Structure 1
């Protein structure tokens, strides 16, 4: 198990190098640079060159990339061109809002999808099954920005139940979490249904029913537990995706998270902030996916036994 964790962490190194390389060079190919944002009105060509020199933008892109990665090796992610603040500090300032929104969105998705998937699986081929799948697909079909605007109009402007944006109060998270959660609902519902259908055909469930165990216990304790591996995979993948920044939703609701930070930085051609934010997000996603893999061993003892068996073979080999 420890060797597996170390191997996965080491694999993050080439991923970070590849991601940072792509971001850095794509930013350089984009028209304009941070000087266009920072230069005062009426700035002369000499003024523009002076600003460009101060930022190091007059150097070849490969030189700037090597210097940036050299700083990364020493724990320095650079300084924002625009705000002049440390990139790492800026990212960490925005991260809690994204984490809060991500977990709230995943919670909404689980509360809607898992019961709906179980309900659909236990009524396979019926009208209820078809309706459940239609409901799930409606959640997937609605664009996040459209649903977000619709929720703002109904529940914020007309009813006044929730704030229309920002992160001032606990109620501020309700509308953006529903917006993202309903978008995630279709995939998780279909996965839950498919996984439960595979388990419901197993002989041990018939044995449990024959022993007189109530149907609710058979479904929730026996069937669902053995169907959890695919469900956990989808939940982990969705969580990683949302933590990467729900750009449209954060923009619609003026949510002060990582997604909005990256978009604003891109618009200002703030290369250090964009690159640093994406590198940090890549590291975060890799750790989340690693934790999901490790969670398999907790949910399914057979997977843990495989790790132990492999370790035993290596010791005796």
Structure 2
């Protein structure tokens, strides 16, 4: 055995042992993101419980007043059965454990006003809201990608027009856009119904209302990354190999520029789910938005907390999916954690 082989062999073994395999690195990253998502959900549930237990006013009194329709003072004799039934008289820690265990079983509690399980109320209304949010996200992307390819990285004048358009779109208030679309296309032109429904015609205007500001935010985040990527060495290399300028922009530059937009999409879903409150009110559209408004006005804390927890759950799950897409688009990020 030569001296050279004696020296090099342990180094090769050490390098092979110390360098993690790509599959292991990806699995570790996925587990880390999953653990972070669970921690966020636990924090949301805990904060929601603390808010419910520390709100001013007695929960049993509020429940009785909602049920009877009379806002009056209640005697201890009247409150005792309610406190025993809902566990309001138990220690806070015991209430917290019971609350968390109920959530793990899918029990979001009982609506104070409707006297129905919160989960069943949400199940009836989540489809229109989720459909509206997803449609708005798809429409925003459908506008953003062609607009970025058309205006980004094409000189200062065209880039300024594209950036100014995105800034204006991002700054438009959703309720103002909704009212304007309603007046023009529903009242004057009568192309769409004034009172929105769950059908295609009743979904078009609410979808556009949510998609316009979101497209502005997505365009701003993608444009800056697109302009930066245009100066990367691999762009010059691709052009030197004979690829057309349009091909480089669409196949290489756009892929890197989409990463901030993909990350922003996770936030966008949570924003859209909360933004539907105003849009569903403007268009008189069924969904979680109108249910949440009624629950807040009637102090139906069980229903409000159930909707908030569900929104948080969807937000975390979608962000987890976005993280996985993020790692697929740019494999270099798999070793970031």
TM-score bracket, shorter-length normalisation: 0.7 to 0.9
| Cα offsets for 1:195-250 (capped at 9, x unmatched) | 10111001221222223222221110111112221121112221232134522112
1:39 aligns to 2:68 (yes or no): yes
1:109 aligns to 2:140 (yes or no): yes
For 1:155-304, list aligned pairs within 5 A: 155-304=185-334
State the superposition RMSD in angstroms: 3.0
**Rounded Cα–Cα distance in structure 1 between residues aligned with 2:74 and 2:51:** 29
CA contact (8 A) 1:117 1:190 kept: no
- Greater radius of gyration (CA): 2
**Rounded Cα–Cα distance in structure 2 between residues aligned with 1:303 and 1:242:** 27
For 1:21-170, list aligned pairs within 5 A: 21-25=49-53, 27-28=55-56, 33-40=62-69, 50=78, 53-54=81-82, 59=88, 63=92, 65-66=95-96, 67-126=98-157, 128-170=158-200
Instruction: Indicate the residue corresponding to 1:16 in structure 2.
Output: 44
| Cα offsets for 1:270-317 (capped at 9, x unmatched) | 11111111111111111111111111121123234x28xx8xxxxxxx
Q: TM-score, normalised by structure 1?
A: 0.84
- Any gaps of 5 or more consecutive residues in structure 2? 1-26
Would the alpha carbon gap of residues 168 and 99 (structure 1) be closer, same or farther in structure 2, given more than 3 Å must change? Answer: closer
Instruction: Measure how far apart 1:181 and its partner are.
Output: 0.7
For residue 79 of structure 1, give the secondary structure of its aligned residue in structure 2.
Answer: coil
Instruction: Measure how far apart 1:180 and its partner are.
Output: 0.8
**Rounded Cα–Cα distance in structure 2 between residues aligned with 1:293 and 1:58:** 39
CA contact (8 A) 1:245 1:257 kept: no
- Any gaps of 5 or more consecutive residues in structure 1? 311-317
Would the alpha carbon gap of residues 44 and 70 (structure 1) be closer, same or farther in structure 2, given more than 3 Å must change? Answer: same
Q: TM-score, normalised by structure 2?
A: 0.79
For residue 150 of structure 1, give the secondary structure of its aligned residue in structure 2.
Answer: helix
Would the alpha carbon gap of residues 189 and 269 (structure 1) be closer, same or farther in structure 2, given more than 3 Å must change? Answer: same
Would the alpha carbon gap of residues 119 and 60 (structure 1) be closer, same or farther in structure 2, given more than 3 Å must change? Answer: farther
**Rounded Cα–Cα distance in structure 2 between residues aligned with 1:157 and 1:171:** 14
CA contact (8 A) 1:121 1:197 kept: yes
For residue 262 of structure 2, give the secondary structure of its aligned residue in structure 1.
Answer: helix
**Rounded Cα–Cα distance in structure 1 between residues aligned with 2:310 and 2:149:** 36
